Chains A and B, each alone.
Chain A
Amino acid sequence: KQEVTQIPAALSVPEGENLVLNCSFTDSAIYNLQWFRQDPGKGLTSLLLIQSSQREQTSGRLNASLDKSSGRSTLYIAASQPGDSATYLCAVESGGSYIPTFGRGTSLIVHP
């Protein structure tokens, strides 16, 4: 059974810092990995999708890397802004049924 762990559980940083959020998974036979953002009381918004054959994806100030062999992914946020404050979740798709399994998320606060 796939298990996904995210570290740290919470993070509070001043504006302008570069951040790294971590995601690890137990079964490396994945199809893809997605990073999501969730604002309070809202649904999830997909930020980046990394296919199993890819090493990284970039969108604006966000960069996500994938190392399947070690079962890890990192989300790098450059020059953080207060608007980046949210919970960030990663999900890996694996198994015969292509089931997306989520971690618990990292709650990020960027203060001015």
Chain B
Amino acid sequence: EAGVAQSPRYKIIEKRQSVAFWCNPISGHATLYWYQQILGQGPKLLIQFQNNGVVDDSQLPKDRFSAERLKGVDSTLKIQPAKLEDSAVYLCASSALARGITEKLFFGSGTQLSVL
């Protein structure tokens, strides 16, 4: 079974530039998550999708971050414009969760973003 795919693996940009990350979840997984992990900290949820609808985006800085999940499969996360404090690893995860049935989270390898 293929895992969660993310690209690019690394990205270096200058502040005020824009950047986009892509995620392809495990086939059939209804729920998709984007997490931000700053060095030395645990992952922080940015946005959670179920199919192509947003379940929670309360911690997404909406003035600069946006995310979409077209057709309930692939997802993209965009930052525009980037700030120095956005330097982090961006992790995508998916699960087969349907409400009331809890499943394991499967993570991709992440995209390491450096903002200079």
A4 touches B102 (CB 8 A): no
A102 touches B44 (CB 8 A): yes
Judge whether A45 is part of the interface by a CB distance below 8 angstroms. yes
Proximity string of chain A (14-52) to chain B, C-beta cutoff 8 Å, 1 when within and 0 when not: 000000000000000001101010000111111001010
Give the interface size class of chain A: 20 to 34
Could you say which of B45, B107, B112 contacts A99, with CB atoms under 8 Å apart?
Answer: B45
B102 touches A49 (CB 8 A): yes
CB-CB under 8 A from A32, the residues of chain B are: 102
A102 touches B56 (CB 8 A): no
Proximity string of chain B (43-56) to chain A, C-beta cutoff 8 Å, 1 when within and 0 when not: 11100100000011
B87 to A: closest C-beta gap in Å: 15
Q: Which chain B residues (60-116) contact chain A, with CB distance < 8 Å?
A: 91, 93, 97, 99, 102-110, 112
Q: A34-B105, A42-B109, A43-B107 are in contact. Are A102 and B42 (CB under 8 A)?
A: yes
A6 to B35, CA, bound (A): 19
Q: Is the interface of A mostly helix, strand, loop or mixed?
A: strand
Q: A43-B110, A44-B91 are in contact. Are A100 and B42 (CB under 8 A)?
A: no
Could you say which of B43, B44, B55 contacts A97, with CB atoms under 8 Å apart?
Answer: B55
Judge whether A108 is part of the interface by a CB distance below 8 angstroms. no
Q: A42-B109, A43-B91, A43-B110 are in contact. Are A100 and B104 (CB under 8 A)?
A: no
A101 touches B109 (CB 8 A): no
A selection of 22 A-B contacts at a CB cut-off of 8 Å is: A6-B42, A36-B107, A43-B4, A43-B107, A43-B108, A44-B91, A44-B93, A44-B107, A46-B105, A49-B102, A49-B104, A51-B102, A89-B42, A98-B97, A98-B99, A98-B102, A99-B56, A100-B45, A100-B105, A102-B42, A102-B43, A104-B40
Residues on B facing A (Cβ under 8 Å) = 4, 33, 35, 40-45, 48, 55-56, 91, 93, 97, 99, 102-110, 112
